Amino acid sequence: MIAEILLVSFIGGLLSLDVSAWGQIMVSRPIVCGPLIGFLLGDLKTGLIIGALLELIWINVISVGAAIPPDVTIVAVACTTLIVLTERTLQPVSNFQSSYRMAILALTMPLGKIFGIADVKQRKLNAHFVHYLDREVTKGNLGAVGKVNYLSIFLFFLKGFLFSLIAITVGVYVLPKLFAYLPYDILAGLDFAYRLLPALGLAIAFNTFRGL
Amino acid sequence: MDNRIVRKSDLYRIFWRSFCLQAVWNFERMQNLGFLYTLAPVLNKLYPEKEQRIQSYKRHLEFFNTHPYFANALAGIVARLEEEMAKGGEVKPEEITTVKMSMGGAFGGIGDSLFWASWRPFTALLACVLVIIYLKEWEGAWLAPLFFLLLYNFLHFHIRIKGVIEGYERKTKVVRLLKKMRYTSTISSSHLIGSGLVLLAVTVIFLRQWEAMKSLLFLALFLSIVFLRRLRISSAKLVYLLVGICCAVAYIF
């Protein structure tokens, strides 16, 4: 399991680059990284469902100008991984499968916001790189431009990798213990919320297209 | 025409480097470093003298921001202007800065509404609807994300490649490229088809899911969120609201 967590975090770091630092070919969208992570962990179908749900819920998230929206990639990676891994350990009691899924989804969603804060910090730090390059270019050290570029991409990767690694490791150990304490009423409510989630996602998508 | 210094291979290098445009995105000057990195091979070629080269690098370290896909068109334009200037034409450095600023802003607005607010939600929704409809009956539902990537990136790469080449060839007249793409009708039709797709998916789920009571609840939730649009509740809050209400209902009954 540790090898799997490391692999998924590594892929998560690479995928989070696609959000802004490198590419933007949209492999960072939940509809792509959910199934990809699911496939790596041997449960493609769950990955597809979670990816599609998160995509619909956050279909209206756009980064315009300098505003940093919640990071959907890290949520999709952490959520899919945690669902697949906990379902493996909780296999005998699968009566509440959808309740657990809903709980994990609700618990991982704030990660996007926290990751967004880290992102803002890094982008503020990047200004130091610019000042450094101002000096280096004046001195005539033009090769520094490329080096700073690669270093910054590596730092973006490192941030995504470490963040998913910590979130997934904590989740894998805490979540099964937490689920043991959930009372029946809450589980029933979560189960029902999970079944209604597609309606919520589709409504958000409808609002997005109608409102623009 | 043949005394050009910038060759087609240089334009392709711009294209490959342009993916790193936002690698050092910062709040102070935004995409300045990425743009300089994208343009660096051309600048190195145009200014063999070190002092001139340093000056050109410094010019492009200034503030720059636009939509990442359309930055390629600007890189093409700037490559051409820099070339004309290096060959002793009448282009002034200030002119290049002005073009970068004004067209950067315009392209930023167009790109945001075309890609972020229309094309990406539309193609993503298409994949989601495919997953919703086919997940139960069809083994190949995993093709939906692949289909999304292909469809989305078709337009994306088109803009990136065409942007550099046409930007270099036609300079600021590259705007015509947009006209030819009929981007306004792409935006409006993707919104129209998108809404239709949502309604189709809702109908499919409504007709096949569970017993009548739950189907009605499904529809009621969909309609209530659609009508509550004016309150502008964020997606995450809506999810927590749903979980809260469901848990409360389960507790009461």
Contact check, Cβ <8 Å, B235/A60: yes
Place of tokens 């980064």: A63
Contact check, Cβ <8 Å, B127/A55: yes
Q: What is the pLDDT of residues A94-125, one digit of tens each?
A: 678 899 999 999 999 999 999 999 999 999 99
Q: Does A79 touch chain B (CB under 8 A)?
A: no
Residues of B in contact with A111 (CB under 8 A): none
Identify the closest residue of chain B to A125 by CA–CA distance.
B26
Predicted local distance difference test score (pLDDT) of residue B194: 92
A197 contacts A106 by C-beta, under 8 angstroms: no
CA distance B116 to B242: 27
Q: From A203, A64, A34, A173, select the one nearest B131 (Cα to Cα).
A: A34
DSSP characters for A5-50? HHHHHHHHHHHHHTTTTS--SSTTSHHHHHHHHHHHTT-HHHHHHH
Residues of A in contact with B236 (CB under 8 A): 57, 70, 109-110, 112-113
Contact check, Cβ <8 Å, B247/A190: yes
CA distance B134 to A45: 12
Contact check, Cβ <8 Å, A192/B226: no
Contact check, Cβ <8 Å, A22/B19: yes
Dihedral sign from CA coordinates of A171, A172, A175, A177: negative
Identify the closest residue of chain A to B201 by CA–CA distance.
A202
The token pair at A24 is 């933007």
Residues of B in contact with A144 (CB under 8 A): none
Contact check, Cβ <8 Å, B145/A31: yes
Residues of chain A under the 50 pLDDT cut:
none
Q: Does A156 touch chain B (CB under 8 A)?
A: yes
The token pair at B250 is 């389960």
SS3 B64: strand
The token pair at B140 is 């190949």
pLDDT at B64 over 90: yes
Contact check, Cβ <8 Å, B217/A31: no
Q: Does B104 touch chain A (CB under 8 A)?
A: no
Identify the closest residue of chain B to A99 by CA–CA distance.
B243
**Which residues touch B204 (CB under 8 Å, ≥6 apart)?**
B132, B133
B73 contacts B174 by C-beta, under 8 angstroms: yes
Q: How distant is the alpha carbon of residue B173 from its chain centre?
A: 21
In this complex, the residue of A45, A203, A209 whose CB is nearest that of residue B121 is A209
Contact check, Cβ <8 Å, A26/B40: no
Predicted local distance difference test score (pLDDT) of residue A107: 95
Predicted local distance difference test score (pLDDT) of residue A164: 96
Could you count the other beta carbons within 10 Å of the beta carbon of residue B223?
A: 14
Predicted local distance difference test score (pLDDT) of residue B133: 85
B26 contacts A121 by C-beta, under 8 angstroms: no
Identify the closest residue of chain B to A205 by CA–CA distance.
B198
Q: Does A21 touch chain B (CB under 8 A)?
A: yes
In this complex, the residue of B30, B221, B248 whose CB is nearest that of residue A200 is B221
DSSP code of B26?
Answer: B
Q: Does B112 touch chain A (CB under 8 A)?
A: yes
Q: B64 - beta bridge partners?
A: B30
For chain A, give the number of residues.
212
Q: From B218, B194, B47, B81, select the one nearest A193 (Cα to Cα).
A: B218
Q: Does B195 touch chain A (CB under 8 A)?
A: yes
Q: Which of residues 81-110 of A touch B (CB under 8 A)?
A: 102, 105-106, 109-110
Predicted local distance difference test score (pLDDT) of residue A58: 93
CA distance B41 to A84: 46
Predicted local distance difference test score (pLDDT) of residue A46: 92
**Closest-CA distance of chain B to residue A185, Å:** 5
Q: From B95, B66, B72, select the one nearest B82 (Cα to Cα).
A: B95
A126 contacts B26 by C-beta, under 8 angstroms: yes
Indicate the angle between helix axes B183-208 and A184-210, nearest 10 degrees.
150
pLDDT band of residue B174 (cuts 50, 70, 90) is confident
**Closest-CA distance of chain A to residue B240, Å:** 7
Place of tokens 């060839």: B169
Predicted local distance difference test score (pLDDT) of residue B209: 63
DSSP characters for A126-182? HHHHHHHHHHHHHHT-TTHHHHHHHHHHHHHHHHHHHHHHHHHHHHHHHHHHHHHH-
pLDDT at B204 over 60: yes
Portion of chain B with pLDDT greater than 70, in percent:
97
**Which residues touch B34 (CB under 8 Å, ≥6 apart)?**
A149, B20, B21, B22, B23, B24, B25, B71
* pLDDT, mean of residues B80-97: 89
Predicted local distance difference test score (pLDDT) of residue A103: 94
**Closest-CA distance of chain B to residue A126, Å:** 5
CA distance A105 to A99: 10
Q: Does A69 touch chain B (CB under 8 A)?
A: no
Q: Is the ipTM of this complex over 0.90?
A: yes
pLDDT at B179 over 80: no
For residues A72-100, one letter each, b for 16 or more C-beta atoms within 10 angstroms of the residue's C-beta and e for the rest, the string is: bbbbbbbbbbbbbbbbeebeeeeebbbbb
The token pair at B50 is 């070190």
In this complex, the residue of B36, B124, B246 whose CB is nearest that of residue A192 is B246
Residues of A in contact with B141 (CB under 8 A): 45, 48
Q: Does B213 touch chain A (CB under 8 A)?
A: no
CA distance A108 to A98: 15
pLDDT band of residue B130 (cuts 50, 70, 90) is very high
Q: What is the pTM of this model?
A: 0.93
For residues B61-73, one letter each, b for 16 or more C-beta atoms within 10 angstroms of the residue's C-beta and e for the rest, the string is: beebbbbbbbbbb
Contact check, Cβ <8 Å, A130/B32: yes
Residues of A in contact with B198 (CB under 8 A): 202, 205-206, 209
Predicted local distance difference test score (pLDDT) of residue B210: 63
